[in-house]
Amino acid sequence: MRLGAGSSLDDGERPAGAADAEGADARPAAEGADARSADEPVEEAPGPPRFLEAVKGDFATMAVMKGADYPSLRGLVDILGLPGTWAVLLFRLASSLHRAGLAPLSRLVYFANCVLFGADLAPTTVVQPGLALPHPVGVAVSPARIGRNVRLMGGVRVGGGAYDDQTRDGLPTIGDGCFILDGAKLFGPVVIGPNTVVGTNAVVTRDLPANVIAVGHPARVIRHRQPASVDAGAGPSVGPASGPAAGVPETD
């Protein structure tokens, strides 16, 4: 029997044995698909870290950038003398209060961070341990996802794309060990691969792979970096894999 476009057969019109044959063919395919789905691991995005775990990692990252002798009392005093350390502490406190259902208190701490240090860090942002804000003034982060040992320099903006095309709207995801330099902007549902450097005043609206240096408006890859391991513990591994200066890419 020939069918025109858009035509279909009811069960009663199918030739004898067709339904059984189709069922026999479809069942193994479906079972195979189910088996593959069950065997494939589903990687879930990590949730917010606990307060003390996060602060420990934040202090370690800041100490590495500052060159402080941490953990030690002298090193602790050294990093507590930096405004960026307190900006991150207030963010962690606001985030913890928000997760505890204390939204009014969370908002007050968030507001204090904006006024005291000029850091606009949404309490709903999920940031893994090791966040460092050496110069917190002008840093604004919407509820994005940020990995371990990430450094955000002054004037960095991370937020939604506000595109007419809804498929491009969303919030960024920044991988472990990334270094976002002064004035860089990350907009929309972009994914920044681990150990990537985003250059000064770069505008990122597309995904960037891991282990690269990207500059420009729009951001483009100009160089590759050697992969750097990111410690899953306190996170002291925040320095560059190569290069003449601490995380600052060379210029051509």
Domains and CATH numbers, the chain: 51-224 (2.160.10.10)
Per-residue pLDDT tens digits for 15-41: 444 444 444 444 444 444 444 344 444
User: So what's the pLDDT on residue 34?
Assistant: 42
44 confidence band (pLDDT: 50, 70, 90): low
Cα(24)–Cα(148) distance, rounded to whole angstroms?
49
User: Is the torsion defined by CA of 218, 224, 229, 234 positive or negative?
Assistant: negative
10 confidence band (pLDDT: 50, 70, 90): very low
* CB environment 188-210: b (16+ within 10 A), e (fewer): bbbebbbbbbbbeebebbeebeb
Which of the given ranges, 9-23, 31-45, 151-165, has the highest pLDDT on average? Answer: 151-165
User: So what's the pLDDT on residue 47?
Assistant: 86
Output 2 or 205, whichever has higher pLDDT: 205
Per-residue pLDDT tens digits for 169-228: 689 999 999 999 999 999 999 999 999 999 999 999 999 999 999 999 999 999 998 887
User: Hey, what amino acid is at 33?
Assistant: A
72 confidence band (pLDDT: 50, 70, 90): confident
**Rounded to the nearest 10 degrees, how much is the dihedral formed by the CA atoms of 23, 24, 27, 32?**
-150
